[in-house]
Amino acid sequence: MHSLTFTKGHGTRNDFVIVLDREDMHDPSPDEVRAVCDRRAGIGGDGLLRAVKAGRIAEWDGDPDLWFMDYRNADGSVAEMCGNGVRVFARYLADNGLADGPVIPIATRSGVREATLLPDRRVRVDVGTVTVEPGAVKVTAAGLDQAVPATKVDVGNPHAVAFVDDPAVLDLTRPPVWEPAEAFPAGVNCEFVRIVGERHVEMRVFERGVGETLSCGTGTVAVAAAAAEREGVAERPVTYRVDVPGGTVEVELAGGDGVEQAFLTGPAVIVGHGEFTLPEG
Ligand SMILES: N[C@@H](CCC[C@H](N)C(=O)O)C(=O)O
């Protein structure tokens, strides 16, 4: 029987189970991740964040002394990056004396992401380079009359951003469908967005490997970048307020012409700690 010590945290109610595995002693199987993230029989979470010394990760060829955020979706799949997760991860490292703030570089499968601890439990993350391809795909979801053009955005992980009249009417208990299928061979996170006002948008998201979540940090960055492109906003830096069902974040964009440098600022909250026994078999 394998038991683990965990911490639970969230960023705008996108919630994560965090485990410390400094020496990479236990790489969780997809079944184990699903058991941990199960909201009835497990701890419950949209994903699992495993804290491992980067030098222990075979695929990592950067600074071995950094902490690596090994991110898993609730269905057990691996993802490259998690914008809310990296804020919560930074807060966890600082709270537990594992890293000194206020600036904490974190290794991810998309490269190093620098997180800065701010007052009031907020964290700002340098999300790096974001690429934007408007109208590259079409997306449909239950509640839409027809497929709508979507912007393909790469935030280290893949996103399809669709502007709709009212995201609230969509039924996101069912997965959206995109075309052409080859556009996202490894799946995609789909955001449905409404422009609320100047530099202000609201969105819902269906996350790859999870389902509808109350927030997606990389999704908010994708949405801000797609909105700036759609609205022809040329000024840089420009800051968007992005409302998600779980709260609000700010996304600052620098760059333009389809390639942005992005910074994500929002809350990172640790809610508790405990022990969990993984089911046998
Ligand atoms: N919730 C995350 C994104 C997590 C990964 C995503 N589901 C994927 O598979 O790419 C965020 O806050 O960015």
pLDDT digits (tens, 9 = 90+) for 120-142: 999 999 999 999 999 889 999 99
| 255 alpha carbon – ligand 1 mean position (Å) | 23
Beta pairing class for 158-163 and 47-53 = unpaired
What percent of the chain is helix, strand and coil (3-state, nearest 5)? 15, 50, 35
Q: What percentage of residues in the chain have a pLDDT greater than 90?
A: 95
Its pTM stands at 0.97
Residues in contact with 97: Cβ distance below 8 Å, sequence separation at least 6, in sequence order: none
What pLDDT score does 1 carry? Answer: 52
What pLDDT score does 278 carry? Answer: 87
Residues in contact with 187: Cβ distance below 8 Å, sequence separation at least 6, in sequence order: 158, 208, 209
Q: Report yes or no: 53 and 84 within 8 Å, Cβ to Cβ.
A: no
> Is 217 annotated as ligand-binding?
yes
pLDDT in tens, 150-163: 999 999 999 999 99
Q: Is residue 9 over pLDDT 70?
A: yes
Distance CA 235, CA 12 (A): 28
Please confirm, yes or no, whether 82 is among the known catalytic residues. yes
* Ligand 1 atom closest to the CA of 81, numbered from 1: 5
Distance CA 82, CA 149 (A): 25
What pLDDT score does 166 carry? Answer: 97
What pLDDT score does 258 carry? Answer: 85
Q: Find the catalytic residue in 82, 137, 162, 188.
A: 82
What pLDDT score does 27 carry? Answer: 95
pLDDT in tens, 79-118: 999 999 999 999 999 999 999 989 999 999 999 999 999 9
Q: Report yes or no: 69 and 107 within 8 Å, Cβ to Cβ.
A: yes
What pLDDT score does 281 carry? Answer: 66
* Mean pLDDT, the chain, whole residue set: 96
Q: Report yes or no: 91 and 98 within 8 Å, Cβ to Cβ.
A: no
Q: Is residue 217 over pLDDT 80?
A: yes
Higher pLDDT pick, 257 / 43: 43
pLDDT in tens, 55-72: 999 999 999 999 999 999
Question: Which amino acid type is present at position 170?
Answer: L
> Is 218 annotated as ligand-binding?
yes
Q: Which of 207, 210, 242 to mutate to test the pocket of ligand 1 (most atoms within 8 A of CB)?
A: 207
* Ligand 1 atom closest to the CA of 11, numbered from 1: 12
Distance CA 24, CA 57 (A): 8
User: Taking CB atoms and a 6 Å cutoff, what residues make up the pocket around ligand 1?
Assistant: 14, 47, 73, 79, 82-85, 157, 189, 207-210, 216-218
Please confirm, yes or no, whether 37 is among the known catalytic residues. no
How many of the other CB atoms lie within 10 Å of CB of 108? 24
What pLDDT score does 2 carry? Answer: 81
Domains and CATH numbers, the chain: 3-127+268-277 (3.10.310.10), 128-265 (3.10.310.10)
Q: Is residue 269 over pLDDT 70?
A: yes
SS3 226: helix
Q: Which residue's alpha carbon is at the smallest distance from atom 3 of ligand 1?
A: 82
Residues in contact with 62: Cβ distance below 8 Å, sequence separation at least 6, in sequence order: 54, 107, 111, 112
- What the block records as the tokens of 245 is 């069902």
What pLDDT score does 43 carry? Answer: 97
Q: Is residue 41 over pLDDT 60?
A: yes
Q: Is residue 256 over pLDDT 80?
A: no
Evaluate the omega torsion of the peptide bond into residue 237 and state whether it is cis, within 30 degrees of 0: yes
The complex's ipTM works out to 0.99
> Is 45 annotated as ligand-binding?
no
How many of the other CB atoms lie within 10 Å of CB of 26? 14
Burial 32-46 (b: 16+ CB within 10 A, else e): bbbbbbeeeebbebb
